[in-house]
Amino acid sequence: MTRCLHRIALASLVLCVAAGGAQAQDNKTLRLLTWGGYAPKEVVEQFTQETGIKVEITLSNNEEMISKLRATAGAGFDLVQPSQDRIAGPQTEFKIYKPMDLSKLKSELFIPAMFDATKKNTTVAGSVYAVPHIWGTDGLVVNTKLSKATDYPDLCAAENAGKVSMRLKRPTLIAMAFASGKDPFALYSDAKAYGALMDEVGKKLADCKKNVKFYWDGKDQLLAGIRSGELTTAMMWDTGGWELNKTNPDIRFVAPKSGALGWVDTFALPAKGRNDAAAYAWINFNMRPEVAAKVAAAAGNFTASKGADQLANPVLKKQFADSFPEAALKNIKWYPPVPAGIEDIEGRVLDRVKAAN
C-alpha cells in the first residue's frame, strides 16, 4: 500500500514538473496570428533579443482569423490582427476575444485620433477589444497605358473585357455599392434594406463576370498579371500598386472617384490566449517609432505609431501623396464595425455571383 501511494505521489510530481515546464515555455513564446509583412524577420529578432520571447507566426487574413478563433472558441494564439470592423460583430456573436487592459499599453506611442477612434469602434458592452496597428486603403490599380479606369464600375467597362481582376469578397460588394451612389454603411442597422442593396450589387457583379480574367486570392498571381499586361485594371490594395509603380511608372494606384475603402488592422487578444504579457510587450515594442518604421517598410503601409511617418521611406511618402491629393484623402470610406449577421447576407450574395454563368 505504501509503495502504491509512493508511486502515485511520484507520478503526480512528474506531472506537476511537466506542467510547470510547459507553462514556463508558454511564457517565453508569443503565438501571433497576423498578415504578411506585419512581423518582418528583423523586427522579430530584435524583439526576441530584447525580451527573450520567441515569436511563432501564422499568416492569415480576416476571414481565416475569425474562422480559426471560432473553431477553437478563441484558443491557439496569444495575439491576433483582424481589421477593426471585424471585432464588435464577431465578439458579440461568438465571444472570441478578451478585453484589452489599456493600463498595460503605452498609449503615448499611438496617434491619438486613431487610437481613440479604434477604441470606440471596438468597444462592446463597455470594454475595449482592440487598438490600432496598420492602416491603408483598397482602390484601383491601373496600367494607365492600357486603361483609363477612374472608378470601380470601370472594371466592368467594355474596354477592359477579359482584362480585370477583383476578389469575390465583401470589399468588392461595398465598393460597387458606393459607386452606385448608395452608402452601404448607413444601412448596416437595416438588414432588409442592406440585403436589397447587396442583391442589386450582386446582379451587377454577375453581369461583370465576362470582364474578369480571374478572381484573385493570392498576391503573387495578381501582381504577375498586372506586370505582364495580362490585366489592365484590378481592385486591390494601395501598397500593391505602389510596389508595381516602382518598376513601371505607368502602373498606378488610383483612389476611385466614389472613394477608396479605408481599413485599420488592429491588435486584439484571443479569448483563450495564454500569454497576455508577451502580447502587450509585442504591441508596445511595435509602436515605438523606429520599430514601426521598419514594419511600415516591410508591409508598405503606414502605422498608428506617433512619429513613425517621419521615418518612412521617401518613395512611399511620394507615392501616397500622388495617389491621395487632399480631396481623395477626405473621400476615403472608413470601414465601421460590422454588425452580427451582415456577413451572412454578403456571403449568400457572393455565392450567387460565383455560381452565375
**Is 193 or 310 the better-scoring residue by pLDDT?**
193
| Whether the predicted pLDDT of 97 surpasses 70 | yes
Measured distance CA(139)–CA(332) in Å, rounded: 10
| Whether the predicted pLDDT of 5 surpasses 50 | no
Measured distance CA(217)–CA(239) in Å, rounded: 16
Burial class (CB in 10 A: 0-12, 13-18, 19+), 115: buried
For residue range 145-189, list pLDDT tens digits in order: 999 999 999 999 999 999 999 999 999 999 999 999 999 999 999
For residue range 18-77, list pLDDT tens digits in order: 444 444 456 899 999 999 999 999 999 999 999 999 999 999 999 999 999 999 999 999
pLDDT at residue 56, as a whole number: 98
pLDDT at residue 250, as a whole number: 97
pLDDT at residue 331, as a whole number: 94
- List the Cα angle 96/305/276 in 5-degree steps: 35
pLDDT at residue 125, as a whole number: 96
Measured distance CA(235)–CA(137) in Å, rounded: 11
For residue range 260-300, list pLDDT tens digits in order: 999 999 999 999 999 999 999 999 999 999 999 999 999 98
For residue range 194-235, list pLDDT tens digits in order: 999 999 999 999 999 999 999 998 889 999 999 999 999 999
pLDDT at residue 11, as a whole number: 45
DSSP labels, 190-253: -HHHHHHHHHHHHHHHHHGGGGEEEE--SHHHHHHHHHHTS-SEEEEEHHHHHHHHTT-TTEEE
Mean of the per-residue pLDDT values of the chain: 92
Measured distance CA(247)–CA(291) in Å, rounded: 27
Name the amino acid, one letter, at 61: N
CA distances for 126 relative to 100, 113, 115, 119, 189, angstroms: 11, 19, 16, 10, 20
> Cell numbers 459607386 label which residue?
179
Q: pTM here? A: 0.82
Task: Please give the domain boundaries of the chain with CATH numbers for all domains.
Answer: 2-135+263-319 (3.40.190.10), 138-261+328-355 (3.40.190.10)
Contact 288, 157 (CB under 8 A): no
